[in-house]
Copies of this chain bind each other. A is one copy, B any other.
Amino acid sequence: VTDAKFYQALGPVAAETLAAGSPVLGDRTQAVASVAPFGSAQADGLSYRDGRPKGPLPPLRGCVVAQEALAPSLLEAGAEAVIIAPAPRAAFARMLGMLFRQRAWMDDGPAPVIEAEAKVSPHAILSSGCMIGAGAIIAPLAVIGPGCAIGRGSIIGPHVSIQCALIGDGVTIGPGAVIGERGFGVAGDAGGLVDMPHLGRVIIQDRVSIGAGTTVDRGMLDDTVIGEDSKIDNLCQIAHNVRVGRRVVVAAFGGISGSTIVEDGARLGGRVGIADHRHIGEKAELAAGSAVMHDVPAGEMWGGYPAQPARTWMRQAAWLRKQAQRKSDGGQ
């Protein structure tokens, strides 16, 4: 599913070439041309597994990077080849550069396509293969990366940079926002630290607004998605693989960590942070300043640090206030 508009395929590459000297079990000549999360690769796919899964292995295809102890069971589950690495995530990260290359700002390629009535500043930078929809406005010094599409009637502010992203119709992106930058992830092994490559995209659906200085990182293998009519304020951070639903409101300094899902109609007050891999239910409300470490059920209001149901949080604060007051009045 790696989008050829944003990533140039360099493969296929044989498993033993990717291994670069590490041991390979199974078919050393297995051709690898794509990447996928563990358990969803095709026959030509590369995936990795760090540690033994809790349940039984899913049916597997393609080439898997894993620790030695896990290799026999991976082959048994259907993997064509296993590349042995003590730190599979870091090894996987190092291999991706042999399979894909992100199209660069300065690449040659097809001329940008600009539909009728779009207003593109002569001081905006349009990279090869990008597409500007009818009636869109691209402000001075916006930079639209290779292959990106900007929908009809959308407004892209000055100093916005967009890469690896598809932007819907009627979207507004404020000055200085950064859409589609690589997500934050580090893997380490004996060779040192590696920034995880990111081969996904950002999808911003129709009528979304994104505030000034806000950053929306692209997904690693999947996409980061902001749903229709969602409104995101200034200086927010939406991490890789996050899925924000429709009509979600995020006030300033909101931070949503990697792979978290925020369902339709949720409302985040100012400076709300949500940990990674959480689920925020439909129409949940998160009070300003709350730091959410757990899943929040649909329709509930939470607050606090760490966040709890708002009623509990308020009751605790009131109880503490009363107790501390009494003791300092009384004796103690």
- Whether B215 contacts A213 by the Cβ 8 Å rule is yes
Q: Which of A36-44, A66-74, A119-127 contacts B (4 or more CB under 8 A)?
A: A119-127
Residue in B106, B213, B255 whose CB lies within 8 Å of A178? B213
Known: A316-B320, A327-B319. A104 touches B141 (CB 8 A): no
Residue numbers in B under 8 Å from A175 (CB-CB): 161, 178, 181
- Whether B270 contacts A289 by the Cβ 8 Å rule is no
Cβ of A297 within 8 Å of any chain B Cβ, yes or no, is: no
Interface size on A, residues (CB 8 A): 72
- Whether A215 contacts B207 by the Cβ 8 Å rule is no
Residue numbers in B under 8 Å from A139 (CB-CB): 105, 143
Query: Measured between C-beta atoms, what is the minimum distance from A80 to chain B in Å?
Result: 34
Known: A121-B106, A143-B141, A319-B327. A255 touches B255 (CB 8 A): no
Interface residues, chain A, with chain B CB atoms under 8 Å away: 104-106, 119, 121, 123, 125, 137, 139-141, 143, 157-159, 161, 172, 174-176, 178, 181-182, 184, 186, 192-193, 195, 207, 209, 211-213, 215, 217, 229, 231, 233-235, 237, 239, 247, 249, 251-253, 255, 257, 270-271, 273, 275, 288-289, 291, 293, 304-306, 308, 312, 315-317, 319-321, 323-324, 327-328
